[in-house]
Structure 1
Amino acid sequence: MLNPDAKGRGFLVANYLIDRDLDSFSYLKKLSTEGHLYNGFNLLTAEFNAKEDIVCYYGNRGSTQPIRLKSGIYGLSNSLLETPWRKLDHGKCLFTSVVEQQLSGDRLVQDLITVLNNQELTTDPAIQRQGQGFDKGILPALSSVCVRTPHYGTRTNTVVLIDTAGAVTFVERTMLNCDTSQWSNQSFQFQLQA
């Protein structure tokens, strides 16, 4: 259940970007000491540099400590990192097949957005268990990578690409007026600072 008196999660990302005295792992370590004060969240932090890229993860409903992620492909859905749901595994397979094609530019972005909008249903007892309390009619829809129900579901897709030279492509697709036929698209390109 959501705690209406919990601290707001909205500043977690901004605080990380502003507080540059802490590296990504140290920021999450500090945050983990007060994670219980927030409603559930997952947070990924990253540092990109010439020697080694560092990506860290903390979910306040899982381990009490953040982790440094090793190189690889991970999945994150409406639970903790790598929760073994069939829809998560399916999404990772779709993602891997796109990445293995070594596409670039608009084609890569479009194929990744297609993955994010995949509505193939899977039968997953784990989602059935987590969905206790939900209307039984929407439980099958929760088993797809992209959830579409009248009052709950995926509203935004974001693709962030960072190349080896630090060039970033950020593309976001947002549903308008809860209407799956209306979308706003925004795209930004910029260079990471050293």
Structure 2
Amino acid sequence: MCLIVFAWQPGHALPLLVAANRDEFYARPSLPLAAWEDAEGVFAGRDLEAGGTWLGLGPAGRFAALTNVRDPSQALGKRSRGELVADFLRGGGNPADYLAQVAGRAADYSGFNLLIGDRHQLWHYNPRVGPPRLLPAGIYGLSNAALDTPWPKLLKARAALAERLAEPHPQALLELLADAAPAADGQLPDTGVGLATERLLSSVFIASPSYGTRASSVVRVHADGTREMIERSFGPSGARLGEVSLVLPPG
């Protein structure tokens, strides 16, 4: 289960602010945030099992992020969803054209939310909800359902982001991603995984011996095109493994 909260503020000094947790089994191999040797100008972590990524930056101011849509009743797709982020970051087309291409092959993937854009435009696409959507200004949240589904962790993290907009320091955004408090049983959604798992997945930051938050990421996009990204990586039971930060100039 993953979580992305973001503030989209066109015309603001910081048009895009993103705080995201990537949750995954610790046994699935991955690399932390780095420049990709096989894709010039792409900076992202990497899933070593399928070769894609969950969040990253690309040339020409590109940004992309992904969450899976959790539905145990659905069969797994034939293709890895992480390639949707990687392909956009590598490519040269505009977001609308790219999403039109993705819509034509969406049936090849298990459910997903795809968020792509730059400092001028931001798009969201969940094929189970409707066509790609150009987002208006606002504060949003994505987890493993539709955009702004009112799960407790999403509501908590989105509110925490709103409280920090006046002074959105990267460390303050990382702090909101570190909240490990579970939701009360009465607030839990029923997504078909059982009560014990719903409890585990209900916190913003997840920690257990086998599954949890593998990376916490903050992205800040400035009006002049400068982009900042910080990623903290974690191991079993939430053990901190490292931190990578970068600043990319406009262009």
1:187 match:
245
Give the Å deviation of 1:126. Answer: 6.8
Q: Paired residues, what number?
A: 179
Q: Show CA shifts across 1:32-66 (max 9, x none).
A: 12111112222111132xxxx10001123332x11
Task: Tell whether the 8 Å contact from 2:99 to 2:132 is kept in structure 1 after alignment.
Answer: yes
How far residue 175 of structure 1 moved from its aligned partner, in angstroms, is 0.9
Write out per-residue CA displacement over residues 109-153 of structure 1, whole angstroms, 9 at most, x where no aligned residue.
Answer: 1111110111222236574411x233x323223222222233222
Determine if contact 1:85/1:124 at 8 Å carries over to the other structure: no
Identity value in percent: 28
User: What residue in structure 1 maps to residue 177 of structure 2?
Assistant: 116
Structure showing greater Rg: 1
Instruction: Tell me the equivalent position of 2:205.
Output: 146
CA RMSD of aligned residues (A): 2.1
Q: TM-score, normalised by structure 2?
A: 0.65
Q: Distance in 2 between matches of 1:182 and 1:83?
A: 29
Partner amino acid for 1:67? R
Q: Does 1:171 align with 2:230?
A: yes
Task: Name whichever structure is richer in strand by fraction.
Answer: 2
2:80 is the alignment partner of 1:8: yes
Report if the CA contact (8 A) 1:138-1:149 is conserved.
no
| Counterpart check, 1:159 vs 2:218 | yes
Matches within 5 A, 1:26-105: 26-48=97-119, 53-63=120-130, 65-100=131-166, 102-103=167-168
Aligned to 2:46: none
For residues 172 and 44 of structure 1, what CA distance do their matches in structure 2 show?
Answer: 18
8 Å CA contact 1:42, 1:80 repeated in 2: yes
- CA drift at 1:89: 1.1
Post-superposition offset of 1:179: 4.4
* Correspondence for 1:24: 95
Determine the structure 2 residue equivalent to 1:133: 193
Higher helix share: 1
Cα distance, 1:124–1:94 mapped onto 2, change above 3 Å = farther
CA–CA distance in 1 between the matches of 2:182 and 2:165?
Answer: 23
Mapped partners of 2:181, 2:103: distance in 1: 35
Gaps of 5+ in 2: 1-71
Secondary structure of residue in 2 paired with 1:149 = coil
TM-score (ref. length: structure 1): 0.82
- Using the TM superposition, name which of 142-151 and 65-74 deviates more: 142-151
SS for the counterpart of 2:158 is: helix
Structure 1 unmatched runs, 5+: none
Supply the distance in 2 between the matched residues of 1:169 and 1:41 (Cα, whole angstroms).
Answer: 25
- CA distance, structure 1, for counterparts of residue 188 and residue 239 of structure 2: 27
CA contact (8 A) 1:175 1:182 kept: yes
Q: Distance in 2 between matches of 1:182 and 1:18?
A: 30
Partners of 2:187 and 2:75 lie apart in 1 by 24
Q: Is the 8 A contact 2:179 2:205 kept in 1?
A: yes
Structure 1 CA distance for aligned equivalents of residues 220 and 249 of structure 2: 11
